Amino acid sequence: MDLEIKDKVIIVTGGAKGIGEGIARLLAAEGALPAIVGRSEADNIKTVQAIEAAGGKAFQVVAELTNPDACKDAVAAVLKQFGRIDGLVNNAGVNDAIGLEHGNYEDFMASLHKNMVHYYLMAHHCLPALKESKGSIVNITSKLANTGQGNTSGYAASNGGRNALTREWAVELLKYGIRVNAVVVAECWTPLYENWINGLPNPAEKRAEIEAKIPLENRMTTAEEIANGVVFLLSPRSSHTTGQLIYIDGGYVHLDRALANA
C-alpha cells in the first residue's frame, strides 16, 4: 500500500533511539523526510547516517525539550530547512520514578516538563505550519495512564495528560482538518527497557515473567510494530481517524490476563 507520505516532513521528538528511531526509520523507508529532534547530537547523527545508508533522507536538530525556548527553536530550524511541516510525532520522555511518598514538588514539576509540557509546546509551535499542510499529530503515550505502576506519579500524570491532550486537540483542530491521535505503548522492547531489565538481579526470569502476561504470543511489542501504527496514522490512508487512543500492546491493557496462559 502506498501511504502517500513521500517527501512529507515529519518531526519526531526523541527520534534517535528506541520507539522514536523505529518511527524515523520507517518514515524514511516510506519516502518521508523525518526531522529528528533530540538532546544528543551524536545519537541524532548516528540515526540520520543509518537512514541515509539505507537509501533514505533525514534531518536532525539538537534540542533539550525541557527548555521551552528549545522547542520553539527546533520547529524554526525544521521550517528553515524544509519550509513546511506535515506531521508531528511527540515521543520524547522517560519513566523517571518520581513518586508520591518519596517525591517532592520540584521533581514532580520537572517530570511534567520532561514528559508532557514539551508535547504541548511542540504542537503549539508546529500549528501554523500544520494548518497550511493539513497535517497530523501523533502522541506516543503509555499504559500507565490506565494501569498505574507505583512510585511514578510524574510519568503517570504526564501520560494521562498526553491522552487528554490528544482528544482535546482533536476537537480544537477539527476546523483545520488536522487529525490528532495517540498510540499507547505497554511492554515494548527498546534499549531503555533492555537497560532496565539488565539492571535487575535476574533479568531473564523477569523478562519471562512480564512476557507471560502479554496475551498475544507472550512477547513484547517491537519498536517496528509501534512505528507501523504511527506511520499509518500520520498518512492520508488514515484520513478519517482522529481523537483515537490506539493500543498497540498485544492485548496487555484490555484483555483478561488469564488469556495469556490459556
Distance (Å) of CA 71 to CA 63, 77, 106, 131, 198 = 7, 10, 21, 18, 33
Q: What is the pLDDT of residues 24-81, one digit of tens each?
A: 999 999 999 999 999 999 999 999 999 999 999 999 999 999 999 999 999 999 999 9
Split at pLDDT 50, 70, 90, the class of 155 is very high
DSSP assignment string, 52-64: HHTT---EEEE--
Q: At what angle do helices 18-29 and 41-53 cross, to 10 degrees?
A: 30
Q: What percent of the chain shows pLDDT beyond 90?
A: 95
Q: At what angle do helices 153-172 and 105-112 cross, to 10 degrees?
A: 40
> For this structure, is 247 an active site residue?
no
Residue 36 — φ and ψ, nearest 5°?
-80, 125
Active-site choice (155, 193, 247, 252): 155
Please check whether residue 216 is in contact with residue 173, taking contact to mean a CB–CB distance below 8 angstroms: no
- In order of their start, the domains of the chain are 9-188+222-249 (3.40.50.720)
Q: Which residues contact 146 (CB under 8 A, 6 or more apart)?
A: 184, 253
Q: What is the pLDDT of residues 163-191, one digit of tens each?
A: 999 999 999 999 999 999 999 999 999 98
